[in-house]
Amino acid sequence: MISRRGRPPAYDREAALIAIAETFRLRGYAAASLDEIAREAGMNRPSLFAAFGNKKAMYLAALEDYRRRMKEAVSPALESEGALADALTRFFDAVIGFYREGAAPGCLVFCTATAEAPADEEIAAILADTISGIEAQLTARIAREAPEGETAGLAHLMVSLLIGIAVQARAGADEAALKRFARAGVGAALRQSV
């Protein structure tokens, strides 16, 4: 058995990742300074680097943790029984609640990774994986009720609506406006598919 030397880490990794994600969500990847990230995470810079690596590694870890937390927050709505319109409305309500948490509204992935993806293959892959993962979840739920041949198109349209809501939230739209936007989008998409 090998024993670890030194003190055990004196930080809460989950809380630090949330703080790092919030800093990147507020400032964007390029504008977030290491001093600001360390301050918000409640860690000094050497401890921050020891725990998470360089700035890009911090960003990638924050993206992955944010994606996990978002999936946990919104997936139950798609897994619920009932009419498709109700499930999609619950899904978007959960998304809107998640986008409005914290100091910076919007989505960490859609509001920051899109700016970094053209210059960074790793970030581009995470962005593409996020979109395809959400689309797969939506496709599986929509397939239970949508007319054959409409599933992929509806799922793609719902992902586009989701990204639009992220941008609207980032631009300062309030919860009521975001919910109206989501309901209008779901209603229009489902009417088209009938």
Residue-wise pLDDT tens digits, 60-82: 999 999 999 999 999 999 998 88
* Mean pLDDT, the chain, integer: 91
3-state secondary structure at position 146: coil
Please tell me the total count of domains within the chain: 1
For residue 180, the enclosing domain spans 66-193
Quickly state the pLDDT bin for 9 (edges 50, 70, 90).
low
Q: Please report whether residue 101 resides in a domain.
A: yes
Residue with tokens 């993206």: 63
Q: Please report whether residue 81 resides in a domain.
A: yes
Q: pLDDT, tens digit, for every residue of 36-68?
A: 999 999 999 999 999 999 999 999 999 999 999
pTM for this structure?
A: 0.89
Q: Please report whether residue 186 resides in a domain.
A: yes
Whether residue 152 is predicted with pLDDT greater than 50 in this model: the reply is yes
Q: Please report whether residue 45 resides in a domain.
A: no
What does the pLDDT read at residue 2? 44
Q: Please report whether residue 183 resides in a domain.
A: yes
Q: Please report whether residue 155 resides in a domain.
A: yes
What does the pLDDT read at residue 19? 95
Q: Please report whether residue 165 resides in a domain.
A: yes
What does the pLDDT read at residue 5? 52
d(CA 59, CA 114): 13
Q: Please report whether residue 38 resides in a domain.
A: no
* Inter-residue contact 193 to 150 (CB < 8 Å): yes
CATH of the domain at 126: 1.10.357.10
Q: pLDDT, tens digit, for every residue of 12-28?
A: 899 999 999 999 999 99
d(CA 9, CA 173): 40
Report CA torsion sign: 21, 27, 30, 31.
negative
d(CA 88, CA 185): 10
Cβ burial, residue 79 (10 Å; 0-12/13-18/19+): exposed
d(CA 149, CA 144): 12
